[in-house]
């Protein structure tokens, strides 16, 4: 997957990768969606809650930044930090009903698209334009929490489907 260089390419990438993920989800029964393949694995439901949580984090960061509020961003290079955040997301969502998770998964995606469509392209690909992105760009954060994230978990969904 090439890194998008324009807002149009970014939106296209988000939509295409999401479609690939949603196509892979087709044919997985609700009972299989909530089952983990092994006791220490996530279920498809857990994975969808995880994706929605990261989309919502991105939206919160962006909206907080727009209001000009200071926010402390995680130190992404801290060993184990992402695993720790993901574990908290899992623990917060593991007992939720599938319908609630699916609704949030759909709604967070709609909000992501609406928000990205509303962001002016000017500065979206410029380092330092937004204080909260540090040396990265807003586009880097969007990609990491949407298209790249969907592609990353597509393989997991396909593996789970094959095991069923």
Residue 51 lies inside a defined structural domain of this protein: yes
Residue 34 lies inside a defined structural domain of this protein: no
Residue 148 lies inside a defined structural domain of this protein: yes
Tens digits of residue pLDDT in 99-155: 999 999 999 999 999 999 999 999 899 998 898 998 899 999 999 999 999 999 998
Which domain covers residue 122, as residue numbers?
7-26+41-163
Transcribe 100-137 into DSSP letters.
Answer: HHHHHHHHHHHHHHHHHHHS-STTTTSTTSSGGGTTS-
Q: Which CATH number belongs to the domain containing residue 87 in this structure?
A: 1.20.120.450
Q: For the whole model, what pTM was predicted?
A: 0.94
Sign, CA dihedral 52-111-29-93, equals positive
Nearest to 112 by CA among 157, 152, 57: 57
With DSSP H G I counted as helix, E B as strand and the rest as coil, what are the percentages for the chain, rounded to 5? Answer: 65, 0, 35
Q: How many domains does the chain have?
A: 1
């Amino acid at each position: 997957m090439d890194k998008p260089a324009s807002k149009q390419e970014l939106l296209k990438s988000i939509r295409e990768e999401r479609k690939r993920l949603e196509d892979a989800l087709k044919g997985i029964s609700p009972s299989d969606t909530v089952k983990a393949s092994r006791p220490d694995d996530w279920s498809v439901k857990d994975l969808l809650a995880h994706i929605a949580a990261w989309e919502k984090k991105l939206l919160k960061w962006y909206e907080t930044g727009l209001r000009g509020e200071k926010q402390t961003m995680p130190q992404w290079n801290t060993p184990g930090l992402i695993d720790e955040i993901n574990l908290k997301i899992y623990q917060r969502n593991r007992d939720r009903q599938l319908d609630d998770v699916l609704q949030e998964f759909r709604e967070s995606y709609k909000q992501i698209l609406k928000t990205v469509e509303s962001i002016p392209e000017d500065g979206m690909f410029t380092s330092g334009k937004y204080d909260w992105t540090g040396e990265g760009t807003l586009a880097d954060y969007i990609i990491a929490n949407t298209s790249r994230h969907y592609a990353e978990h597509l393989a997991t969904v396909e593996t789970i489907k094959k095991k069923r």
